[in-house]
Amino acid sequence: MRVGIFAKTFAGTTPDVVLAAARNAGYASVQYNFACSGLGALPQTIPIAAVTAIREASERTGVAIAAFSATYNMIHPDSTVREAGRRSFAAIAAAARPAGATLLTVCTGSRDAADQWRDHPDNQGVEAWQDMVAEFGHLLAVAEQHDIFIGVEPELANVINSAAKARRLIETMASERIRIVLDPANLFESEDTETRGRIIDEAIDLLKDRIAIAHAKDRNADGSFATAGRGVIDYPRYVASLRKAGFDGDVITHGLSAVEAPGVAAFLGPLVASEGPNT
């Protein structure tokens, strides 16, 4: 396994600056956002020079690009907003392989028009599911064209709000292009110790054949988010469960400040490097 971080944790609008900051904080990879190239999170055109700059910065710094963010609200109530997101996804997909990665992360969306990460009572309705499936139909065609993969993250506030829903999506779309981004802190809000561990273990077991990236953030006992290692999630158990499932990819932290980044790298590094028991 490799320890990584969201690139946009660090200030900067050039990949050289951002990737050097990630390296200096102790990270081997990043989940890259095009805002780090000064293009905004969802550019609709990406200059060749920007693609080359990412690839060359990765080579110079030794920091790998684990994935590119292409997260837009896939079930936004305004279809024109979805169409704009789709165009950005296509632009990022075209740039991904030349820039150094084959995975694009997405947001399965919320009916909340203002915040794709905020829950809405219509998110679990039939129409929301149908809109999401239709959107994936568009994205999968793009993924096939550019030979890339789509990373789907179960999020409590989105259509795909559990490991079971993620499995349903995989079976519905019947495409090897669908991969999973698994964040243990997005699988529950406030649960007792044993329930937390069981939910995380069961999610990994259910999705183990598709997990491309493991995320690393945490929860406080009151349900609020916390920096990895500072909350209630049993990280040794989480990493051991990933290892038991055969996962050997990037463990990528986010939801932290640049100041906190070195400490989290120091916390995660020994865990992912350990050859501890697979239990």
For residues 114 and 73, is the Cβ–Cβ distance under 8 A?
no
Angle at the Cα of 198 from the Cα atoms of 192 and 201, rounded to 5 degrees: 140
Single-letter amino acid code for the residue at 186: N
For residues 152 and 169, is the Cβ–Cβ distance under 8 A?
yes
pLDDT in tens, 33-82: 999 999 999 999 999 999 999 999 999 999 999 999 999 999 999 999 99
pTM for the full predicted model: 0.95
CB atoms near residue 55 (< 10 Å):
17
Average the pLDDT over 178-187 and give the result: 97
Is the pLDDT confidence value at 183 over 50? yes
Is the pLDDT confidence value at 278 over 50? no
What's the token pair of residue 206? 């259910």
For residues 1 and 247, is the Cβ–Cβ distance under 8 A?
yes
Please report, for residues 12, 24, 90, 247, 279, the alpha-carbon distance to residue 6 in angstroms, rounded to integers and kept in the order given: 13, 14, 21, 20, 28
Return the bridge partners of 35, or none. Answer: none
Instruction: Identify the pLDDT of residue 275.
Output: 62
Q: Which phi and psi angles does 31 have, rounded to 5°?
A: -95, 110
Is the pLDDT confidence value at 217 over 80? yes
Query: 122 by DSSP, 3-state: which?
Result: coil
For residues 28 and 63, is the Cβ–Cβ distance under 8 A?
yes
Is the pLDDT confidence value at 120 over 70? yes
pLDDT in tens, 155-181: 999 999 999 999 999 999 999 999 999
Is the pLDDT confidence value at 242 over 90? yes
Strands (E) in 7-63, as ranges, are 29-32
Instruction: Identify the pLDDT of residue 116.
Output: 93
